[in-house]
Amino acid sequence: MVQFILRRATIKDVPSLIKLCKETILEVYGQILPREMLETWVEGDMVIETVNKQWQRMIVAEKAGVVVGVAAALDNKIDLLWVHPAHHRNGIGGALLDMVEAGIGKSGHGIGVLECFCDNGRAVGFYLAKGWQPLRQEMDDEAGAMKMVMTKALVQPNSERS
């Protein structure tokens, strides 16, 4: 079994990150969001612009020299956690999530927040299994779909333990 490594993204990863995001969007969200919504991301410049703005905050999972997963946080919010569908259920998402959670905790935030589409049952189940709790559901006006806001208490380094 080929192992994976987690590391900070570099500028050289940008083309691979764009490819990963486009492929993942189509595969994962194709059953959840309208095709025309996905096309603006995949065929337009939205993915390219997003990756170019955010790559410095990204953690990548690399397997045999190929970027197969990515995660990023801003303040206490997990903005992004995507694993290419061909690599689901190999521990990559869990490792990325653990690393991003640790970073949020180290930055002094005791509570993490994330959002995922309610109809993305795989993601909702994954986050629940990792200790995240539903806070509320709300409409994502841009996507036109319901999303679930979830939270989790994160362990901060140097915190008192009983």
* Per-residue confidence (pLDDT) for residue 58, from 0 to 100: 95
* Per-residue confidence (pLDDT) for residue 141, from 0 to 100: 87
* Per-residue confidence (pLDDT) for residue 15, from 0 to 100: 94
Note every long-range contact of 83-86, with CB atoms under 8 Å and residues 24 or more positions apart, other chains counting: 83/24, 84/20, 84/23, 84/24, 84/27, 85/23, 85/24, 85/27, 85/28
Strand partners for 128? none
Q: How far is CA 105 from the centre of its chain?
A: 17
List average pLDDT for each run of 10 residues in the chain, which is 162 residues long.
86 93 82 74 79 92 94 94 89 95 92 94 94 95 89 72 44
Helix axes 46-54, 35-42, angle to 10 degrees: 50
* Per-residue confidence (pLDDT) for residue 139, from 0 to 100: 94
Q: What is the DSSP string of 13-24?
A: GHHHHHHHHHHH
- Which of 45, 78, 42 shows the shortest CA–CA distance to 59? 78
* Per-residue confidence (pLDDT) for residue 21, from 0 to 100: 87
Distances 155 to 12, 39, 49, 86, 94 between C-alpha atoms, Å: 33, 39, 33, 31, 16
* Per-residue confidence (pLDDT) for residue 157, from 0 to 100: 56
